[in-house]
Amino acid sequence: MRPLKATFRTATAADVPALVRLIESAYRGDASRAGWTTEADLLGGQRTDPEGVTAVVNNPDGGMLVAEVDGALVTCCQLENRDGHAYFGMFAVSPGVQGGGLGKQVLAEAERLARDEWGASEMRMTVITAREELIAWYVRRGYVRTGETSPFPYGDERFGLPKRDDLEFELLVKKLT
């Protein structure tokens, strides 16, 4: 497979329905199993909703970076400027194009924006600790496991329906200097 070339832009309110579909397809249900980022064995229910995506798109301290290939929206990530560091989240790559290098391109562009446009000294993210393969992918890209964990929001269906009782998040950090 030849590497796909992405065009980047900032999401707008008009993108919200497509973004919700993209994020859901990458993480939940049978469609997500076509890629390797699925959380379907850990969580059921929704990954996000229009209100959550709209809040990210309209955030005055950040937004949603999207990438298109041949005019199709195929990947996105949340970026937020947080007092000297950037937060990276809501990262999704369409299952049909996972493994084609788009994830690396989006992560690199997000890091560049945070460093060059916001002056952020580091990028932070939280990842479910049970997602060892995903954590390893980030570690290969320079992120460091901090061992700092936070609880999964059990009981809040906006984040999904847990299929296990041992879910938690770990903070990963990368210096952007």
Question: Which is more confidently placed, 163 or 125?
Answer: 125
Decide: 81 and 114 in contact? Cβ < 8 Å.
Answer: yes
pLDDT digit string (tens) for 164-176?
999 999 999 999 9
Residue 9: φ, ψ to 5°: -160, 170
Per-residue model confidence (pLDDT) at position 37:
65
pLDDT confidence band for 177 (50 / 70 / 90): confident
Per-residue model confidence (pLDDT) at position 31:
66
Average model confidence (pLDDT) across the chain: 90
State which amino acid sits at residue 92: A
State which amino acid sits at residue 46: Q
Nearest CA among 125, 145, 133, 106 for reference residue 35? 133
pLDDT confidence band for 113 (50 / 70 / 90): very high
Average pLDDT over residues 96-114: 92
Per-residue model confidence (pLDDT) at position 144:
98
Per-residue model confidence (pLDDT) at position 117:
95
Domains in the chain, CATH or no CATH each: 7-175 (3.40.630.30)
Average pLDDT over residues 152-175: 91
What is the tally of helices (H) and strands (E) in the chain? 4, 9
Please give the sequence-ordered ranges of beta strands (E in DSSP) within 36-118, or none if there are none.
Answer: 43-44, 62-69, 72-82, 85-93
Decide: 33 and 24 in contact? Cβ < 8 Å.
Answer: no
Per-residue model confidence (pLDDT) at position 9:
96
